[in-house]
Amino acid sequence: MSDGSPVPPGYVRLILALDPCFYLEIPLTEIDALCLSPRKYLVFLAWCILDLSHAVDPKVVKTGTTGLSQTTETRDAFRDELLGRDGQCVFTGADAVVMHIIPFKCGSEWFRRIVENRAHDDENVENLTDINDIRNGMLALDLLRTWFDARGVAILKTPNRYLNRSDIPPRANRLCPLPVGATYPLAEHYTIQWLGQPALATRLMLPNNSEAAFISGTGGQSH
């Protein structure tokens, strides 16, 4: 089932392929901090990794960063839409910057390939074709964008194919009250999960399981 090496104490081995053997070794402390249902969470991680690997065409990855152009009008329109839905940083209510989920540098062609080939469940993605679609962005703290781009933090959407909101810890308390007009969505939840080790001040500002809030009436439905 693996390369024969022992699993380090305090870790769990998530085997993703047998020939050749490919696996992740994940600290149990990290799993405990991020979920209440470890087995379901590991299945979810495997699904995310393997589904994405099938969705990406290496040729698109190689060429996806070429020929990009973004006019001031396009950039401003994207930000204006996010301001209308998010208001400020969706996790803290502080001043924010625009953050793409799939990075802008990847380009719309790569973005479309991911959307077309990954599992959609009940999501309506027929017209999700542009890297600057509002569903591919949010307003967030600049430091969160930096960590996100470096794959040091994830934003978990629940419910999904394997996890319900009840499978992860309760929503973390915010340092500041919700901005006027902002509410937590009832149907879909977007939760911060740290994969790296930020400074203590960052963890205090953005603790694990912080949840996104959106301007009332939008409900985050544009994600």
pLDDT, one tens digit per residue, over 19-53 is 888 899 999 999 999 999 999 999 999 998 887 65
Residue 99 CA to residue 148 CA, distance in Å, equals 9
Residue 99 CA to residue 191 CA, distance in Å, equals 15
Residue 10 CA to residue 26 CA, distance in Å, equals 9
**More confident site: 107 or 133:** 133
- Reduced to 3 states (helix: H, G, I; strand: E, B; else coil), residue 40 is helix
In the chain, what is the straight-line distance between the N-terminal and C-terminal CA atoms, in Å?
A: 38
Q: Which of 138, 161, 118 is nearest to 210 (CA)?
A: 138
Is the pTM here over 0.95, yes or no? Answer: no
- The pLDDT tens digits of the residues spanning 145-162 come to 999 999 999 999 999 999
| Residues near 45 by beta carbon (within 8 Å), at least 6 away in sequence | 14, 24, 26
Query: Is 2 a residue whose pLDDT tops 80?
Result: no
Task: Tell me the average pLDDT of the chain.
Answer: 86
Instruction: Please tell me the predicted confidence (pLDDT) of residue 74.
Output: 79
Read off the pLDDT band of 122 (50, 70, 90): low
Annotated domain spans of the chain: 1-34, 35-215
Residue 121 CA to residue 113 CA, distance in Å, equals 17
Rg (CA), the chain: 18
Query: Is 196 a residue whose pLDDT tops 60?
Result: yes
Instruction: Please tell me the predicted confidence (pLDDT) of residue 65.
Output: 46
